[in-house]
């Protein structure tokens, strides 16, 4: 048991999927896992463990933004010895050829700042995904009828962004999409020698203004969860 995760030793699997929304964690656990048991309700950040195709899997909400993700990822790694952490979440497209409902596999994650900046100081560390997970996720995606992109994303430290010039530079430099957590997850995984990947569903488009309708989100997010599960257990 930690300050933020009310689990006992053995309650959490070696593989953890991390949606930002704790209610999405509940939905994913109830939809995809067998015999799912809730091990955490502290601060409403729900966490569940069950099985998927015979593999023990946990799904833990991370909250929104890198500071919140950092708390849960640190505790999962340091206190529960989690080996594989996969972020599953939504993202905003930043390229014309990336469309609503597409899946993005984040090879790298650029950021202006993160909780790890205090450690890295002047170093421009380049956070990246675990190759085995990335390669497995790509292979899984090719067997599904889901348009999938692999490349760099931008992890923003603000939701209400007032830097259109920065977004323009991200688009100019080929960044596929923006979200708020992956850069810190990848940095922590590198620090502790763990495997990490971000599998993201495009829910809105910064260039076109398109938004994924609420009634279609569950089906689209389901594709993302299944890609993550298959990649983690490959």
Q: What percent of the chain has pLDDT over 70?
A: 100
Structure tokens at 87: 């972020």
97 is catalytic: no
Task: Transcribe 162-228 into DSSP letters.
Answer: --HHHHHHHHHTT--EEESSHHHHHHHHHHHT-EEEEEEEEEEETTT--B--HHHHHHHHHHHHHHH
Please choose, from the candidates 201, 153, 202, the residue with its C-alpha nearest in 3D space to the C-alpha of residue 174: 153
Residue extents of the structural domains in the chain: 15-232
- pLDDT of 214 > 80? The answer is no
The pLDDT of 12-20, averaged and rounded, is: 98
The pLDDT of 56-63, averaged and rounded, is: 98
Distance CA(93)–CA(176), nearest Å, equals: 6
- pLDDT of 218 > 80? The answer is no
Query: How many Cβ atoms are within 10 Å of 9's Cβ, its own excluded?
Result: 9
Long-range contacts (CB closer than 8 Å, 24 or more residues apart) made by 188-194: 188/70, 188/73, 188/74, 188/77, 188/116, 189/73, 189/77, 189/85, 189/130, 190/125, 190/127, 190/128, 191/116, 192/77, 192/78, 194/77, 194/82, 194/83, 194/84, 194/85
The pLDDT of 104-123, averaged and rounded, is: 92
Distance CA(32)–CA(24), nearest Å, equals: 12
pLDDT tens digits for 143-185? Answer: 988 899 999 999 999 999 888 899 999 999 999 999 999 999 9
Q: Looking at 14, 21, 79, 204, which residue is catalytic? A: 204
What's the predicted TM-score (pTM) here? Answer: 0.96
The pLDDT of 86-107, averaged and rounded, is: 97
At the topology level of CATH, where does 15-232 sit? Rossmann fold (3.40.50)
φ/ψ (deg, to 5) at 166: -70, -45
- pLDDT of 117 > 90? The answer is no
- pLDDT of 215 > 80? The answer is no
């Amino acid at each position: 048991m930690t300050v933020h995760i009310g689990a006992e030793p053995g309650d959490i699997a070696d593989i953890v999927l991390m949606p930002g929304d704790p209610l999405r964690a509940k939905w994913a656990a109830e939809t995809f896992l067998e015999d799912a048991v809730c091990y955490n309700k502290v601060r409403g950040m729900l966490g569940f463990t069950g099985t998927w195709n015979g593999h023990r899997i946990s799904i833990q909400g991370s909250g929104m933004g890198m500071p919140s993700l950092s708390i849960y990822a640190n505790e999962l790694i340091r206190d529960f010895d989690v080996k594989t952490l996969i972020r599953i979440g939504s993202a905003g497209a930043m390229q014309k050829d990336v469309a609503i409902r597409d899946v993005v596999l984040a090879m790298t994650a650029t950021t202006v700042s993160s909780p790890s900046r205090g450690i890295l100081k002047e170093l421009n560390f380049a956070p990246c995904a675990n190759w085995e997970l990335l390669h497995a996720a790509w292979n899984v995606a090719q067997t599904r009828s889901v348009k999938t992109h692999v490349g760099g994303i931008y992890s923003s430290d603000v939701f209400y962004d007032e830097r259109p010039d920065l977004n323009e530079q991200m688009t100019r430099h080929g960044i596929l999409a923006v979200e708020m957590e992956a850069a810190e997850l990848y940095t922590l995984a590198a620090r502790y020698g763990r495997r990490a990947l971000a599998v993201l569903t495009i829910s809105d488009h910064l260039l076109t203004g398109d938004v994924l309708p609420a009634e279609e989100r569950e089906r689209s997010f389901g594709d993302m969860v299944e890609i993550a599960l298959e990649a983690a257990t490959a």
